A = this chain, B = another copy of it.
Amino acid sequence: MHIHEFQDMMRRLYFHRDAERGVKGTYDWLKDELDELWEALEEKDMKAAEKEFADVIAWLASLANITGINLEKAAINKYNDKCPKCQQSPCCCTF
């Protein structure tokens, strides 16, 4: 599934709710999902972690939808088969 297809799916499922909730509210949900992801990883509960990874990318796509960002284009524009900082693959940044 393309990143944009997943973003479109989130639009179909949730845009009406995301738009009503607004940017701050949707961002806060995304942060909460990230916390839940950490809890699952800390517990080494990989079944739960898998679901939380799905939720994080879902809420990220929801936030992209209500802020007018194309997540796939953003990702490809910045990460074009090389590290945007050192321009190498693999990355050879020294920091």
Which residues of A pack against B, CB within 8 Å? 1-3, 6, 9-10, 12-17, 23, 27, 30-31, 34, 37-38, 41, 46, 49-51, 53-58, 60, 63-64, 67-69, 71-72, 74-79, 81-83, 89-91, 93
Contact = CB atoms under 8 A, between A and B. Distances in A.
B91 A75 contact: no
Given A3-B6, A57-B57, A67-B41, A82 B31 contact: no
| Chain copies in the assembled complex | 2
A71 B71 CA distance: 15
B46 A68 contact: yes
B91 A69 contact: no
B50 A74 contact: yes
